[in-house]
Amino acid sequence: MAVANSARYQDFMLLYSLGLLFVLLVTAPYWLLHMLLHEKYRAGLAERMGRVPRRVTDVLRGRRAIWVHAVSVGELIAVSGVVQALQQAHPEMGLVISTTTRTGQRLARSRFGDACVFYFPLDFSWILRRYLRALRPVLLVLAETEMWPRLLHEAHRAGVGIVVINGRISDRSLPRYRWLRWLWCPFWSKLTRVLAQSEEDGQRFAAIGVPSDVIEVVGNLKYDVRAAQNMEITRRLRAALPANAKVLVAGSTLEGEESMLLDAFEHESRQTPGLVLILAPRHPERFDAVASLLERRNLPCARRSAWTKGNPKPLEPGSVFLLDSIGELASVYALATVAFVGGSLVSAGGHNPLEPAQFGVPIMMGPHTQNFRGVMEALMMDNAVAVAMPENLAQTLHDLLTSPHAAEMGQRAYTVFEQQAGATEQTLAVLESLLQAKESFTVQRSKTR
């Protein structure tokens, strides 16, 4: 039976690699065209294809590494506290970070420096083996659900401990994992530990075949993220706001949401003098498109990229400030009278409501919030978030701006945020125990030689 299982596993690995190669070849014209037209598609191509950056191997200086992978901005922000703590606790090791997206890459480099940051490689054996040989990681730390078959196989084969932190299984992913459970189970056996965000996520990992003895529920790292209230952009905006202004901060918005928000904002501006909208699209490639939308609506608008040059002008009542930057939104939420968290009016699963919650701000979201299921359950249980449908968005905004109870709702959101903290400490405790076990094993093995 074991031989049969092993043969089936090897067959699947071969089919998976051939399938991935086939997909890349078939879609190559699409990618080549976009590489010619858009710089973002060319970014990091050599690194994705297996060229280990010299800057990364230089910073390691022969040391063993802890390799942390976070797909994009949200995952990176969540694990930043863990990364910083590991850097401080283990200077004898090199800590390297990979991301998939260009926005994640920019934020990682701004926080941790260029030298230790690189683009995540494609999931082919020859590419991954080059990285594993060059980095010699002791631990591979994966944020949320970044569990690629060949990556798990090759890292386990190289003797690397594999830990999923802030682990979650989305509503969309769960049926697919369950349907292919018989294929995925051999890969789940490669995992050293899975640290789940919630009890439900822990149960979902078990339901898709992850061994129960490696699953541990430690909480959501995003409850531990503390944004700086006094970033320069926040200070400048606070000084530029009209006297007694009310501010709607709409963060991480996606295509289709800006139009709905602007409709609600323009309607409410006629009833609430001094209302200002700070609008922060999720993706940098959409900044110009959103600016064009504002121009077509003839709304007074200032773009952060231009406004901060020279002497910034005061913001007018009824105007829109376009926050076309990365990494500043969480701090800017501190200015909000009401915060809207995007990705929730369209079917994208929503973004992080904890960013405004930490400032005690009344929060408004659309109905699509499954990406933050556990967080939303905690907030809704305490009546600490308002869920608005597209058709009543303007009314919900008006209620939050005028209700004497809105401040209390914001305070309840802050209380939820504070009560749920602690996942970082528990995550670090698990990682430390695994590092000590690896070190002990290495010492024992060297003594027996």
For residue 218, the surrounding DSSP H or E stretch is none
Pure H helices in 38-72: 39-42, 45-48, 54-60
- Rounded-to-integer distance, Cα 179 and Cα 191, Å: 20
Token match 């003797």: residue?
A: 159
- Residue 255 annotated in active site: no
Amino acid at 156: H
Q: Which of 75, 154, 257, 328 does the annotation list as catalytic?
A: 75
Specify the amino acid at residue 265.
F
What are 308's two structure tokens?
Answer: 């901060």
Alpha-carbon dihedral angle through residues 351, 354, 360, 361, given to the nearest 10 degrees? 0
Burial of 139 from C-beta contacts in 10 A (0-12 / 13-18 / 19+): buried
Residue 110 CB partners (closer than 8 Å, separation 6+):
327
Q: How far is CA 299 from CA 265, 309, 311, 321, in A?
A: 11, 21, 21, 10
- Provide the 10 A C-beta neighbour count for residue 294: 20
Q: What is the residue whose two structure tokens read 């006629």? A: 270
Contacts of 263 (CB under 8 A, 6+ apart): 393, 394
Active-site amino acid positions:
75
